[in-house]
Amino acid sequence: FPEMLPNPKLALVQGTLNVVMKQNVTLSCLSDPGSPPVRYTLFKHNQQVSALNRSDLSPALFTITISSASDVGEYKCKAEYNTSSGGKYSNSLSLTLIEPISKPVLSSPTSQAKKGQNVTLSCLSENGTLPITYLFFKGTQNISPQKTMQKREAAVIFLFMDSLSDFGTYKCKANNSFPNNTKYSNSFNFTLAEERSHSQALIISLGLILLLLIIGFALAIPFFIIPLYKASE
């Protein structure tokens, strides 16, 4: 046997490091050059997962099934001769669990706006692995560059309601690294707020004054009109 076994190399041969539930990942461990037989042991956070003996120069292949969150994390392998103590450890590989996003919620402080007014739209998925990328639409038309959020916070855009075409129905969509997991939000509708003209305001004011006069006249009848009528009889 050689006096010293080289450090083995741990490599991904099947699957991805960003994993989803029920996914299989295969890792290979090989000390090259190394004279067989060699014992290879796979560890996760210093806990032994599996061990294989190789009597030739082929790598040890370890298949991991992601069945729970405890299956992700940092993995290493160890190579050692059966007749010697100690051994050499490999580089580490980390498996990260990615989760699908929830349906994003599109919202705004107001649903009514006037022409020439600035408004905001916020889009947020409460669940899902970060980062999350958001995109805003009016109808089927994209109205903003995509916004990638590294934190659990809403993507926000600012709109200037310049014309009647800016009013209507908006949506947003969200996705992350989870495969085939694009989600669309609820619809949000901006409507044009009614603008009262000066003449309308004047008419309303005169109407209120007239109403107050009628109420005042009705209240005065028992105290002034009736006594005067009785005095004249």
pLDDT by position in tens, the chain (length 233): 455 788 999 999 999 999 999 999 999 999 987 678 899 999 999 899 999 999 988 999 999 999 998 999 999 999 998 766 678 999 999 999 999 999 999 999 999 999 999 999 999 999 999 999 999 999 999 999 999 999 999 999 999 999 999 999 999 999 999 988 999 999 999 999 875 544 566 677 788 888 888 887 777 777 665 665 555 55
End residue of a domain, out of 43, 64, 97: 97
End residue of a domain, out of 74, 97, 120: 97
Give the pLDDT of residue 130.
Answer: 94
Give the pLDDT of residue 205.
Answer: 77
Give the pLDDT of residue 1.
Answer: 46
Q: How many domains does the chain have?
A: 2
End residue of a domain, out of 97, 117, 136: 97
In-domain check, residue 3: no
Assign residue 142 the CATH number of its domain. Answer: 2.60.40.10
For residues 169 and 159, the answer to whether their CB atoms sit within 8 Å is no
233 vs 206: CA distance, rounded Å: 37
Give the pLDDT of residue 84.
Answer: 62
Q: Is 43 helix (H, G, I), strand (E, B) or coil?
A: strand
Q: DSSP class of residue 164?
A: G
Q: Which domain holds residue 23?
A: 9-97
For residues 1 and 77, the answer to whether their CB atoms sit within 8 Å is no
Give the pLDDT of residue 128.
Answer: 94
Q: Which residue has the tokens 């960003």?
A: 18
Name the CA radius of gyration of the chain, rounded: 37
Label residues 145-160 b or e (16+ Cβ within 10 Å = b). eebebeeeebbebebe
Give the pLDDT of residue 67.
Answer: 94
pTM: 0.64
Contact partners, residue 76, CB within 8 Å, separation at least 6: 10, 42, 43, 89, 90, 91, 92, 93
Cα dihedral sign, 61-65-71-72 = positive
169 vs 140: CA distance, rounded Å: 10
In a shared domain, residues 113 and 168: yes
Give the pLDDT of residue 171.
Answer: 97
